[in-house]
Amino acid sequence: MANLREISRRMSSISSTMQVTRTMEMISTARIRKALDRAEQAAPYKDAITNMLANVATAGFDDKQPLLERHLEEKNVLFIVIASDRGLAGGFNILLQRAVEREMGSLRTRGISSSVITCGRKPTEYFTYRKVEPAMSFVGISSEPTMDEADRIASYIMDGYVSRKIDRVMLLYWHAKNRVDQVQVIEQLLPISREQLMMPNKPRTPKALTEVEHELYSDYRFEPSATEVLGYLMPAYLRTVIYHALLDSAAAEHAARRRAMQSATDNAKEVLETLGRRYNRERQGAITTELNEIIGGASALEDN
């Protein structure tokens, strides 16, 4: 009977856990649509400014401008990690964090320093625990990112790049393809290449960059020059790209959590079924033993 009570306690505990995971799955399912809508609503502006930059870049791309110039020597690399404030989302946080940590270790072996900007409580705690103090950190708004967050990040990286305190800026986040699938994106923000400026589609994966079609827009006339216009547009472009990445990551977070909680719920069901069969076998065995004891006792009384 002791074994039956233990199995019953385990089944009760797993049932309670399954209720929690099912509830979290339902909440994430409800929030995915809203998050995807926000990302989709921001996409037209992002595509418009990227198309505008593509037009200008074909007419006057000048890699001597402060935000377009490649630094001859790479001394410091900045990583922008966009993850989440909460866990229970599978590998959503840890895969990005480990990717950055590996890259920082690789840079360290080559004598290149690195720093990180964290968006989300999880990456902030991850790097702080490993004695890597973030240059900037944003917590509590991973599900509802704001333009102010993007403005502050963009201002920081632009000031650092122009002053040559930062030589390269990498952006890492999860792109929400749909309600189910997410794609890890590692994008170089600065220095930005002509191919990147000419690519409005998201996300900018290495494979996609090789498929950029080079078009000439000779019919456009720019006043002032295309080079100066490009310099004016770059800050707005960077803010827009970062903000859209924050929105995209928020949608991917809900999708990843929904999938993780669905998997946890399904696993809990399987464990409950296994424990239910085991409970029935143990109970049947206990009943059989008691019957044998009763029959044996009755037989002994008849013999006497």
Examine residue 65 and state whether it is found in any structural domain, yes or no: yes
Q: Which residues contact 103 (CB under 8 A, 6 or more apart)?
A: 77, 79, 114, 170
Q: Does a structural domain hold residue 274?
A: no
Q: Please give the Cα distance from 234 to 81 (Å, whole number).
A: 21
Average pLDDT of the residues in 232-243: 86
- Domain-embedded: residue 227: yes
pTM of the model as a whole: 0.78
CA separation for the pair 246, 119 (Å, rounded): 8
- Nearest 5°: phi and psi at 267? -65, -40
pLDDT at position 217: 47
Structural domain includes residue 19: no
Residue-wise over 223-246: b if at least 16 C-beta within 10 A, else e? eeebbebbbebbeebbbbbbbbbb
Containing 55, the helix (H) or strand (E) segment is: helix 2-60
Assess if residue 176 is contained within a domain.
yes
CA distance 124 to 116: 9
- Return the pLDDT at 4: 75
Q: Give which of 97, 246, 259, 81 is closest to 178, Cα–Cα.
A: 259
For residue 101, count CB atoms less than 10 angstroms from its CB and return exposed for 0-12, middle for 13-18, buried for 19 or more.
middle
Amino acid (one-letter) located at 10: R
Query: Which position has the higher pLDDT, 102 or 4?
Result: 102
In a domain, 190, yes or no: yes
* Any domain includes 149: yes
Distances (CA, A) of 18 to 134, 269, 272: 36, 8, 10
Domain that holds residue 49: 41-257
Residue 22 lies in a domain: no
pLDDT at 230 over 90: no
In angstroms, the CA 63 to CA 147 distance is: 28
Is pLDDT of 55 > 80?
no
CB 282: neighbour CB atoms within 10 A? 15
Provide the edge-to-edge strand list for the sheet that holds 168-176. Answer: 136-138, 113-119, 76-82, 168-176, 182-190
Q: Is pLDDT at 223 greater than 80 in this prediction?
A: no
Distances in Å between the Cα of 147 and the Cα atoms of 52, 75, 105, 201, 243 are: 21, 30, 32, 21, 6
The average pLDDT across 245-251 equals: 88
The two beta strands, 113-119 and 182-190, are unpaired
pLDDT at 123: 92
Spatial CA neighbour of 81 closest among 113, 29, 122, 32? 122
For the chain, percent of residues with pLDDT exceeding 90: 22
Mean pLDDT of the residues in the chain: 79
**Who has greater pLDDT, 247 or 48?**
247
Position 58 confidence tier, pLDDT thresholds 50, 70, 90: low
Alpha helices in 67-186 (DSSP H): 92-109, 121-129, 147-162
Provide the number of structural domains found in the chain: 1
> Which pLDDT score is estimated for 114?
92
Per-residue pLDDT tens for 159-171? 999 888 999 999 9
pLDDT (mean) for 32-46: 76
116-169 pLDDT, tens digit each: 999 999 999 999 999 999 999 998 888 888 888 999 999 999 999 988 899 999
CATH of the domain at 141: 3.40.1380.10
